[in-house]
Structure 1
């Protein structure tokens, strides 16, 4: 028996499993770029924003860490329907422009995976597959 993850072994995943992989990649990219631990917990009132991505009350990094990832994980854990549209990566590209490419690009790639899972139900093909 090999230790190849089932998503690399050609076995199809559910949308929840695909989203779990995409969110794990996103968190890993944020951690690798030191964007995870540098995000200060927003004030409770910051979550009341009606702006997309809470842009008026949070940085993109805060929104990813404290809003997007926890909300999607909560939906998955409860086996609730997932949003069927997403356009997170293009918005994040605008908001993360100030970050170094080595930080920004892996996060954007992970967000493209999240978008694809939400819209198409599966991960994007990875290079070399």
Structure 2
């Protein structure tokens, strides 16, 4: 699989984990929220809003256009801090998906999944 295809898989996992954790249903932030200069728009959006309306939207747009992808990503460590208040069952699948996205962007391929 190409890096673009692997990223598409990782994004689908993120959306699925956010839906399962009831984090996908977010109100769209106001337009001015996107103008934030803070990392992850932390001052104008919740992390789930940023994940859905910024990260997923921009990465999907890059995939659709066949654009170059970011070469470095460290989303999962920041998300670990921001999602601490969620139950483990809601938090861990989202974090695993974000680790997958980071890994695809940093290395060009998905992490190998541990066998059950």
Q: What's the secondary structure of 1:99's corresponding residue? A: coil
Q: CA deviation at 1:52?
A: 0.4
Matches of 2:7 and 2:113 in 1, distance apart?
A: 15
Matches of 1:77 and 1:40 in 2, distance apart?
A: 24
Structure 1 stretches of 4+ with a deviation exceeding 3 A read none
Q: CA deviation at 1:127?
A: 1.5
The yes-or-no answer on 1:51 pairing with 2:38 is yes
The yes-or-no answer on 1:40 pairing with 2:20 is no
Q: CA deviation at 1:83?
A: 0.2
The yes-or-no answer on 1:63 pairing with 2:50 is yes
Which of these residues, 5, 9, 12, is aligned with residue 24 of structure 1?
Answer: 12
Structure whose residues are more often helix by fraction: 2
Which of these residues, 40, 65, 87, is aligned with residue 100 of structure 1?
Answer: 87
The yes-or-no answer on 1:123 pairing with 2:79 is no
- Relative to the length of structure 1, the TM-score reads 0.88
Let me know the Cα RMSD of the aligned residues: 0.9
Q: CA deviation at 1:122?
A: 0.4
Unpaired runs of 5+ residues, structure 1, are 1-12
Structure 1 or 2, whichever has the larger Rg, is: 1
The count of residues paired between Structure 1 and Structure 2 equals 116
Q: CA deviation at 1:69?
A: 0.2
Unpaired runs of 5+ residues, structure 2, are none
